């Protein structure tokens, strides 16, 4: 069952990454390869992706626990993945996604899709410099963040330099296991309207 679930999650991640990278050839907003990302390589793109995540995570109050999951590279793009270890109850997922979506809008990101699915809700956005960013809930209500760069210069990519605020796991990352008085509460957040 775990293998099937992991395969489904990876498949979803690949589909989302494919959608975000469709037409990748020249960075968005560039002409003949010259523009705001003309001098960026994959390492720089990975660092930019990390910064986008750290800023997004910083908008979530109270703080959540998260860990680095993976880094993948294509012929001219890089994707960083992170896993949230804080248990976000079904009743608080709308609040979680709402905070993230509002922060992305305030940061000038274009919201490309909001999926209000009860089982796997998600939000996908694009930054002004063409980085795709998404957050989704998957198996056992675990939240995942992902950032994919536009096409940049090929280079080696190092692991993130900032240590995750969650514990380190050997091998497979487990389902969420950190309780939060706010995010894990099984009641609607104060001041929010419960879903019908």
Which tens digit of pLDDT belongs to each residue from 92-128? Answer: 999 999 999 999 999 999 999 999 998 899 999 999 9
| Residue 121 buriedness (CB in 10 A; 0-12 / 13-18 / 19+) | buried
Maximum average pLDDT range among 5-9, 170-174, 183-187: 183-187
The CA distances from residue 106 to 12, 53, 59, 101, 148, in Å, are 27, 15, 11, 9, 20
Beta bridge partners of residue 115, listed in sequence order: 122
Per-residue pLDDT band for 167 (boundaries 50, 70, 90) equals confident
Task: List, edge to edge, every strand of the sheet that includes 132-137.
Answer: 66-73, 78-84, 143-148, 132-137, 122-126, 110-115
Per-residue pLDDT, averaged over 68-74, amounts to: 95
Helix (H, G, I), strand (E, B) or coil at 13: helix
Give residue 193's pLDDT: 52
Q: What is the mean pLDDT of the chain?
A: 84
Provide the whole-model pTM: 0.79
Q: Is the pLDDT of residue 147 over 80?
A: yes
Give residue 163's pLDDT: 87
Fold adopted by 1-20+38-187: TBP-like (3.30.2030)
Per-residue pLDDT band for 37 (boundaries 50, 70, 90) equals confident
Which of 71, 65, 61, 87 has its CA nearest to residue 146? 71
Per-residue pLDDT, averaged over 2-16, amounts to: 44
Q: Is the pLDDT of residue 190 over 90?
A: no
What are 37's two structure tokens? 């990302």
Q: Is the pLDDT of residue 18 over 70?
A: no
């Amino acid at each position: 069952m775990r293998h099937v679930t992991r395969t489904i999650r990876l498949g979803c991640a690949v589909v989302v990454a494919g959608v975000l990278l469709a037409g990748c050839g020249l960075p968005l907003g560039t002409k003949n390869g010259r523009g705001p990302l003309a001098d960026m390589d994959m390492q720089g793109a990975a660092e930019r992706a990390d910064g986008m995540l750290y800023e997004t995570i910083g908008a979530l109050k109270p703080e959540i626990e998260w860990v680095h999951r993976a880094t993948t590279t294509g012929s001219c793009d890089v994707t960083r993945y992170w896993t949230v270890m804080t248990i976000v109850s079904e009743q608080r997922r709308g609040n979680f996604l709402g905070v993230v979506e509002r922060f992305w809008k305030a940061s000038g990101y274009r919201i490309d899709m909001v999926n209000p699915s009860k089982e796997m809700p998600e939000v996908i956005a694009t930054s002004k410099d063409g980085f795709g960013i998404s957050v989704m809930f998957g198996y056992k209500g675990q939240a995942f963040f992902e950032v994919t760069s536009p096409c940049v210069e090929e280079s080696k990519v190092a692991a993130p330099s900032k240590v995750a605020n969650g514990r380190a796991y050997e091998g497979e990352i487990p389902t969420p296991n950190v309780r939060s008085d706010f995010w894990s509460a099984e009641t609607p957040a104060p001041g929010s309207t419960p879903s019908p």
